[in-house]
Structure formats: structure tokens, C-alpha cells
Chains A and B, each alone.
Chain A
């Protein structure tokens, strides 16, 4: 069974530029999550989708971050414009079932200069 795929693996941009990350969850997983993991910290949930609907985006900085999952499968997370403090690893996860076993992708490491 293929795992959660993310691309790119690494991205370096300058502040005020835009960037987008892509996630393909495990086939059949209805729930998709985006997390931000700053160096030395645990992952922080940014947004949770159930199929193509948003369940929770209370911690998403909506002035600069946006995410979509139009067909209920793949998802993109965008930052526009980026700030220095956005430097982090962006993790995508998906889950299926009552016990919330979330399967994580390898992440995209973003460096904002």
C-alpha cells in the first residue's frame, strides 16, 4: 500500500514570495490534515479536511495561508506571501477509521530567507 506522498521535499524561497505544497493521501482515506512543524517542536495542526470539506481551520493564518481539497483526494497548501517565521516542515497526514491513526507523509521542508 502506497503511503502519503508529498512534494516538493525541499523548498527555499525569499520572504514575500509565494509557495505551494502538494499532498496525495492514502487511497480511500477521507480525512486529510496539514501540520506545521517548527524545528524543535511538535507538529501543530493547521487544517483538517473531511473529504472536500473543512472540519477545522482555526489555527490556519488565513491572511497568508490557504488550502484546498477540491475533489476530496489531493490537497494543496499555499503561503502567500511567505514570512521568515514560516520556515518549518509542513506535514500532510491522512486517516481512516474510528481510532485516529494518522499516517504521515515525509514532509516538505520550507526555508524562507
Chain B
């Protein structure tokens, strides 16, 4: 099975907040990442959090990290139709290698 797990699908209305969740397995991960993938495109880094932090905010994005439970979440405030995409969390293991989750497809309804 996947080392990093995410729910498959999330649907929200435009203007609402979206929360995408992720669980990981490696407690020694130094950084955890959120990437966005739009149709037919490569992945784009949205944000990252260092493992000794609990929270990081960057404009509409808020990342929460619960290291005890190995749980990571991404909150998107005021979700827009342009936020519709697949969101991947990833943990960094030794040697700067990333292990990605299976992705959460976010659909934003107008």
C-alpha cells in the first residue's frame, strides 16, 4: 500500500474553505509538501512545512502538521474554480527523495 495516504475526492462550493488531509508514515521526514497538478500538466509546488512546525500560513493556504499522529492537512480559504485540480502531499525521506500520496481531486462548483 501507499506510504502516504489521501482521500480520493473532495467537492466544495466556490467561496467555501477546502480541507485536504494526508497521513504519512515516516516520522523522520524533515519536510512535508503540497503539490498541485492541473490536467495535462506537471506538478507545481504549493507550499511546504518543516517538521518542527505545527502550522504555516501562506495567503489563502494554511498547512497544519500533527507530527504525533503523522497527519498533514491543507486548507484553502475562499476556494475558487481555478483551484480545481489534483493535490498531492509528499514526505521527504533520506537523500532528498519524495514519496507522494495518491492525490486528492478537488472539484469546485460555482
Contact = CB atoms under 8 A, between A and B. Distances in A.
B71 to A, nearest CB: 17
Nearest to A58: B97
A31 B31 CA distance: 17
Given A4-B42, A104-B42, A99 B98 contact: no
B98 A100 contact: yes
B103 A42 contact: yes
A48 B95 contact: yes
Given A42-B103, A99-B48, A107 B42 contact: yes
Contacts of B42: 4, 91, 93, 104-107
Measured as residues with beta carbon below 8 angstroms from the partner, the interface class of chain A is: 20 to 34
A43 interface: yes
Contact of A102 (B40, B45, B95): B45
Given A102-B45, A104-B44, A41 B103 contact: yes
Closest 10 CB pairs of A and B: A104-B42, A42-B100, A104-B43, A100-B96, A42-B102, A106-B42, A43-B100, A101-B45, A42-B88, A105-B42
Interface of A: 4, 31, 40-45, 48, 55-56, 91, 93, 95, 99-107
Given A100-B31, A100-B92, A104-B42, 14 more contacts: A41-B102, A42-B4, A42-B102, A43-B100, A48-B96, A55-B95, A93-B43, A99-B48, A100-B96, A101-B48, A102-B43, A104-B44, A106-B42, A107-B42
